[in-house]
Amino acid sequence: MSPKTLYDKIWDAHVAHEAEDGTCLLYIDRHLVHEVTSPQAFEGLRMTGRSVRAPDKTIAVPDHNVPTTLDRLNGIENPESRIQVEALDRNARDFGVHYYPVSDVRQGIVHIVGPEQGWTLPGMTVVCGDSHTATHGAFGALAHGIGTSEVEHVLATQTLIQKKSKNMKVEITGKLAPGVTAKDITLTVIGKTGTAGGTGYVIEYCGEAIRDLSMEGRMTVCNMAIEGGARAGLIAPDEKTFAYCMGRPHAPKGAQWEAALAWWKTLYSDDDAHWDKVVTIRGEDIAPVVTWGTSPEDVLPITASVPAPQDFTGGKVDAAKRALDYMGLTAGTPLAEVPIDAVFIGSCTNGRIEDLRAAAAILKGRKVKEGLRAMIVPGSGLVRAQAEEEGLAEIFQQAGFEWRLAGCSMCLAMNPDQLSPGERCAATSNRNFEGRQGRGGRTHLMSPAMAAAAAVTGRLTDVRELMG
Amino acid sequence: MDKFDKLTGIAAPMPMINIDTDMIIPKQFLKTIKRSGLGVNLFDEMRYDADGNEIPGFVLNKAPYREAEILVAGDNFGCGSSREHAPWAIKDFGIRCVIAPSYADIFYNNCFKNGILPIALPQEQVDILMKDAERGANARITVDLEAQTVSTSDGETFSFDVDPFKKRCLMEGLDDIGLTMEKAASIDAYEAQQATSRPWV
Ligand code: SF4
């Protein structure tokens, strides 16, 4: 048998039908659903009299619109948000899919809830009407975002019409330096390959620095595969993956666990498998980074200065000019001297327990700089509960952070958590697009530790200044 | 689904790279539970000031381009989120075809599901079409899906690639869920086999 990549293996195990031109029906093992991209899909089913083919493999949770303030169970004030969440309530009930309503402690960001509940397992195909579905690739699951028409297609048929992507290997060799995290890896890769570098590929991340990451860190890396243009990122499952999955509510048990494990252990890229593209980065060369512009590829080490448009070529010259103007930055300013107004720690990129621990390690015994607005939004109700149990919540509150309930929150500002025009935010989320966190808001992406450090000093900060 | 075969129309030039889905349709308009009515909010934050007044310099606010049926743009168009609201807004505005050097992949797929044809052409050819588009109502661009060609107002013609299956669905306005449901036997067989080989799924 010819050698295969991990992607090849998962793909081959899920082809339910292949047409002569190579168009396949890929069987979908898990379909995650949230309130923003699904109402039109369920409506489509109603209009055509179709049903959900596999409600048992369909999991719904409201996250994008939900308020994160403590009074949210009194109801959602914004009428449109309320209608969307109510539509999901009704659709989940009418079509009989698994559901975690706002009142359930397990509610949270869909990409955090899936793995937490054991829905996401190695070797699966996972889709969701959300581009950050790539997150689930950390388990060695083929996971990608789809549009609403495709959501309807999967609801009705449990398959997706797909053609195979190309294989790209991103290897991070060696060890990471102190202060450097999974977020710095994933941003550095995008800085190197560009936001379109992964278009048409499925990326497999590998190498010692990736192996050394926890499952939380691996999810952070895969989460942003989409920012690099790849629909999916993968990491081969290993003992850490199996340990994370074991005992989760929807993970297999007993003899089925053993059978699953036996298959999962075959899920790796063969030594001489073919790669269409290979990128190698030395772990030692990765620094704590921040973004300076309005594209996730606008990445620089925190020790660098704001670039000038003429540092670039092609269409990027104009893009950089526009970005600097939007961001209110002057070329040549050291990044570590840029003052900030707000800090947001959370999102499906960095809203897991390990992220909160990293932030707490910096914030312990310190205070948020006066006048700064700082918010921590855990990725799920269970992450929130665990952080409270570990005493992290107390550290955050004593430092002056708001301690919120779970949801997407200021990652995309569909709920009331938004930046005002011109407000500058240190954020652990994944997109720094114009207006992403509120019209005119300015976003700098970074790791949770870096965001915590910025909260303390009131400017973009090299976290290493505050370490040990 | 709406069919697409041939189109001759005014093309709006947007020579920016990385036009993302948050620009195309900002999140405050994702709260709808319908597919229609998003056209007025297409490129909202570039098109209107904070008080909701039109920004005169923005291309779609200028006379001929209000009627644009084609959009010519820079590299990596539609990057960002999976929101199908982006093609819904483009279509609702009246644009049926986008021409750019490259696209983000989810956006590209979403277009086909909504009767919009996204065409990828080399940068030099996009540059020529961009120039043509800048001539406004004096220059109409012609797109022929059957022949897989784009022609400038001067008759210069470029060929483009498109997946044959996607082309057929677009030309015939096919419902791909219906097509897949015709293969229900294959899906049943797959599920039966999976029930033994991977019962934990
Ligand atoms: S946290 Fe942000 S990126 Fe993640 S699913 Fe929510 S809105 Fe999307």
Q: Say if B86 falls within a structural domain.
A: yes
**3-class SS letters over A197-258:** CCCCEEEEEECHHHHCCCHHHHHHHHHCCHHHCCCEEECCCCHHHHHHHCCCCCCCCHHHHH
Strand order in the sheet with B117-120: B117-120, B97-100, B70-73, B6-14, B140-144, B149-151, B157-159
Nearest CA in chain B to A263: B198
Count structural domains, chain B. 1
Amino acid in the structure at residue A418: Q
Mean pLDDT calculated for residue range B157-181: 95
How long a stretch of residues is chain A?
468
Q: In whole angstroms, how far apart are CA B70 and each of A369, B108, B172? A: 50, 15, 20
Contact indicator for B84, B55 with CB cutoff of 8 Å: no
CA of A333 to the centre of ligand 1 (A): 31
Predicted confidence (pLDDT) per residue in A331-390, tens digit: 999 999 999 999 999 999 999 999 999 999 999 999 999 999 999 999 999 999 999 999
Domain span including residue B142: 6-197
Among residues A144, A125, A120, which one has the least CA distance to residue A9? Answer: A125
CA of A415 to the centre of ligand 1 (A): 12
A81 class by beta-carbon count within 10 Å (0-12 exposed, 13-18 middle, 19+ buried)? buried
Q: Say if B26 falls within a structural domain.
A: yes
When CB atoms are compared, the residue of B15, B106, B198 closest to A131 is B106
User: Atom 6 (ligand 1): residue with closest C-alpha?
Assistant: A408
Q: Say if B185 falls within a structural domain.
A: yes
C-alpha to C-alpha distance for A113 and A242, rounded to whole angstroms: 17
Helix-strand-coil percent breakdown of chain A, rounded to 5? 40, 20, 45
Residue A18 to chain B, least CA–CA distance (Å) = 10
Work out which ligand 1 atom sits closest to the CA atom of A430. Answer: 3
- Number of C-beta neighbours around residue A338 at 10 A: 24
**pLDDT score, position A216:** 98
Predicted confidence (pLDDT) per residue in B92-135, tens digit: 999 999 999 999 999 999 999 999 999 999 999 999 999 999 99
Work out which ligand 1 atom sits closest to the CA atom of A412. Answer: 7
Cβ–Cβ gap B33/A84 under 8 Å:
yes
- Number of C-beta neighbours around residue A267 at 10 A: 20
Provide the CB-side half-sphere exposure for A151 (13 A, CA). Answer: 28
* No. of helices (H) and no. of strands (E), chain A: 16, 19
Q: Say if B150 falls within a structural domain.
A: yes
Token pair for B26: 């900002």
Contact indicator for B87, B114 with CB cutoff of 8 Å: yes
Q: Say if B1 falls within a structural domain.
A: no
Cβ–Cβ gap B194/A322 under 8 Å:
no
Q: Say if B190 falls within a structural domain.
A: yes
Q: Say if B187 falls within a structural domain.
A: yes
When CB atoms are compared, the residue of B45, B82, B102 closest to A131 is B82
Is the minimum CB–CB distance between A120 and chain B shorter than 8 Å?
no
Q: In whole angstroms, how far apart are CA A433 and each of A66, A106, A430, B66? A: 22, 30, 9, 25
- The torsion of the CA quartet A409, A411, A416, A420, rounded to 10 degrees, works out to 150
Residue A463 to chain B, least CA–CA distance (Å) = 28
| Cα-only R_g, chain A | 21
B26: left (phi over 0), alpha (psi -120 to 50) or beta: beta
User: Atom 4 (ligand 1): residue with closest C-alpha?
Assistant: A348
pTM of this prediction?
0.96
> Any idea what the CATH number is for the domain that residue B116 is in?
3.20.19.10
Low-confidence ranges of chain A (pLDDT < 50): none
Q: In whole angstroms, how far apart are CA B134 and each of A335, A465, B123? A: 38, 51, 16
- Number of C-beta neighbours around residue A309 at 10 A: 16
Pocket lining for ligand 1, CB < 6 angstroms: A 63-64, 109, 111, 130, 132, 347-348, 408, 411-412, 429-430
Q: Which residues of A touch B181 (CB under 8 A)?
A: 156-157
C-alpha to C-alpha distance for B87 and B111, rounded to whole angstroms: 6
Task: Identify the three-state secondary structure at position A438.
Answer: coil
**pLDDT score, position A164:** 95
Confidence of residue B1 (pLDDT cuts 50, 70, 90): confident
Q: Which residues of B touch A313 (CB under 8 A)?
A: none
Q: Which residues of B touch A126 (CB under 8 A)?
A: none
Q: Say if B29 falls within a structural domain.
A: yes
**pLDDT score, position B138:** 85
Is the minimum CB–CB distance between A433 and chain B shorter than 8 Å?
yes
C-alpha to C-alpha distance for A442 and A411, rounded to whole angstroms: 12
Is the minimum CB–CB distance between A259 and chain B shorter than 8 Å?
yes
